[in-house]
Structure 1
């Protein structure tokens, strides 16, 4: 599976805009995990290897026959390092899914967004998107209640972890990678 990730984004993208953004984001997250720009657990998206390979085969059917699983022990190690906040963030995103968004697509997007939220850069960068506008587009289309909740127009990672913190009764839950960002003092002045 590893040897194919760098080339995923070179394949023709589907006509559907959300599917296109999902493909780009998923490729970027897996590439980020492989290259060390995202924590290794993000490689799994919190899924069993069988579920991940099935997801990849469905999103990238042109690669289905070439995907090779990682050794079970290596994959299990990656999966075991998944933080609780990742799973909670996925669940929070899924509960904020737009009514019109297919549940499977919504879950896949939630997993990709949550994984990218653990990176050290802006969410759009860790998702391999061209800017915040594409994150806005994804969230407005697929997670409308959450998108509408960001009335203060906070950076998306900050907003997602703030909402997650509220749901857990924690006042100041911050994204784990933000302290490395050059905008940290802008987002968290205190």
Structure 2
């Protein structure tokens, strides 16, 4: 776990030194949070977003995560004292509601990831990259863990962001796609082809 890009990068950015060994099965959620927070730090340092804008979480939620889940006080790096909570726009709220409808009952972590995923899905790159994950497989695991019924419906291995928006259209009773079937669609490869360059960000680091 500790050699994964998001995990390692967060440690380096915060000057925490080597992270202790982590049980991948027990701490996958913490690993994903580290990846998301590393992306948030990139945007904060670039002046592109605040911590709440980058994650979709409230100041209080971020403070709790940093205090409870990481090995040293790190809130100063995220400048939480300077940020305000940001209300989601309509598109983000619809995505969040879709995820929450399939979240594990009574699981606060699933609620938190619904907010994070809905916010990061508004970015332009592949969703797994915008979450700072190593590859698409990790995103599949995250969705299957916290939104099992939603993830189970992606039987044709559609790209996850496309799939979420497809489900959103279905729930709202309309479709942005005019093709009668996927096989007849001229954009078939955009939805189903392998996501090229999966390790480009990794190698760049």
Same fold (TM over 0.5): yes
Equivalent position of 2:93 in the other structure:
87
Equivalent position of 2:176 in the other structure:
172
Gaps of 5+ in 1: 174-183
Equivalent position of 2:151 in the other structure:
147
Equivalent position of 1:26 in the other structure:
36
The structural deviation recorded for 1:43 is 2.7
Provide the rounded CA distance (Å) in 1 between the counterparts of 2:16 and 2:141: 19
TM-score (structure 1 length as normaliser):
0.69
Equivalent position of 2:203 in the other structure:
none
Q: Which has the higher contact order (CA 8 A, sep 6+)?
A: 1
- In structure 2, do the counterparts of structure 1 residues 66 and 156 end up closer, same or farther at CA, with 3 Å as the change threshold? same
Q: CA RMSD for the aligned pairs?
A: 3.5
Provide the rounded CA distance (Å) in 1 between the counterparts of 2:123 and 2:29: 22
Provide the rounded CA distance (Å) in 1 between the counterparts of 2:114 and 2:17: 23
The structural deviation recorded for 1:87 is 2.1
Equivalent position of 1:187 in the other structure:
190
Q: Decide whether the 8 Å contact of 2:35 with 2:131 is kept in 1.
A: yes
Greater CA deviation, 151-160 or 29-38?
29-38
Greater helix fraction, Structure 1 or Structure 2: 1
- In structure 2, do the counterparts of structure 1 residues 129 and 151 end up closer, same or farther at CA, with 3 Å as the change threshold? same
The structural deviation recorded for 1:89 is 1.4
Residues 75-110 of structure 1, C-alpha deviations (whole Å, 9 max, x = no match): 25xx15x322212212221221245xx611101121
1:12 has 2:35 as partner: no
Instruction: Find runs of 4+ consecutive structure 1 residues off by over 4 angstroms.
Output: 8-11, 35-42, 64-68
Q: Decide whether the 8 Å contact of 2:96 with 2:114 is kept in 1.
A: yes
> Computing the radius of gyration over CA atoms, which structure comes out larger, 1 or 2?
2
Provide the rounded CA distance (Å) in 2 between the counterparts of 1:120 and 1:38: 14
Equivalent position of 2:65 in the other structure:
55
Q: Decide whether the 8 Å contact of 1:57 with 1:63 is kept in 2.
A: yes
Gaps of 5+ in 2: 1-10, 178-186, 193-205
Provide the rounded CA distance (Å) in 1 between the counterparts of 2:50 and 2:173: 28
Count of paired positions: 169
